[in-house]
Amino acid sequence: MKGSKVNLLVNSTLALGVTLLCLLLVEFTILPVWATGGLHRDLALLGFYATPNSTVGDTPINADGFTGTELSALEASTEEINVLTLGGSTLFNRRMTERMLSNWQQMHGANWTVTGGALRTHTTRASLIKYQEIFSHYDFDYVVIYHGVNDLWTNNVPAADFRTDYSHMQPWYKRNILLENSLVARYLYNGYYRGTGVFPRDNINAADFASNATFESNLQELIAAIRANGATPILMSFAWHIPENYSLDGFKAYEVGYNNPTHYDECPVELWGTTSYVRAGLNLHNQTLRKLARNTQTHLIDLDSYLSGNIENFGDVVHLSDIGTDRLVERVGRELGVLAADALD
């Protein structure tokens, strides 16, 4: 009888050991190769990146899953002025990072680098996650933040379904110790919970601008994290333009006046919600940005005042035209140059 108990204990221990070994094999060998295509583990667990060494539209993605200067290059030099950008497609499209790097090196000298952390569909919450889990480990001098429209997606659910971490949208927004460290847990969770997606279907603003408080708290937390790492955060008010004659039919017929002859990544207002909702939401987020800049004494580049009044700057409601992109790059570069010069005095 005693021998049977010993055998049972040995078999149970062996079974547990084999199970743990199989889990470790899946976690560190099978999933990194099969499910992620061999991505670096940190990137695979992050979720918020583009496919490394690919092209999105006309914009090349670097080996890190972002744009511009690779993170490994930042470790090689202490002489450069390193800039990180965070935002959505409005700070990604039209090879924005590449144009910033070229323009700013001509303007200020070759010792400027630009790492583009902005990617399509990303929100303030995505930028906060990217900064905390990836970018905070690198030595940036300035972090330029440009958000305004994508957080409006989060309101398009019943109020009871809104989550302040935006996890109601998609599973990658859900973060905890287990999900941030285990690929097995992450892929099981993501397979179980799909979220509502980002594009509106029903319930336009059913959450009644609940995003605004989260928009503010995400940016406030991001500003504090950037400063804790010794970098300077830069906020930018959000530029947009909806002409008075706007309609979806007019937009589709290219009759509302946007400056986008090649139809580059053109998006109707309705991608985010109704015209009245998007107008109100962008105004609200810009009010929040200005208030936050004052309250946290953060430098604000007022792109709303600089760009929004001229439809020539826009390919659609929020995405810039070629000339609008050039104007943004030039304006931001000049303000960063002044800040860098002041820091040296």
- Encode pLDDT of 100-109 as tens digits: 999 999 999 8
- How many residues make up the chain in this entry? 345
Question: What values do phi and psi take at 116, rounded to 5?
Answer: -95, 105
pTM of the shown model: 0.91
pLDDT band for position 14 (cuts 50, 70, 90): very low
pLDDT band for position 55 (cuts 50, 70, 90): very high
- Residue 165's pLDDT is what? 97
Q: Return the H-helix or E-strand segment holding 24.
A: helix 2-25
Residue 146 contacts residue 238 (beta carbons within 8 Å): yes
| Distance, CA of 204 to CA of 195 (rounded, Å) | 16
- Residue 44's pLDDT is what? 85
Token duo for residue 300: 């604000």
pLDDT, tens digit, 9 for 90 and up, residues 290-329: 999 999 999 999 999 999 999 999 999 999 999 999 999 9
- Residue 110's pLDDT is what? 81
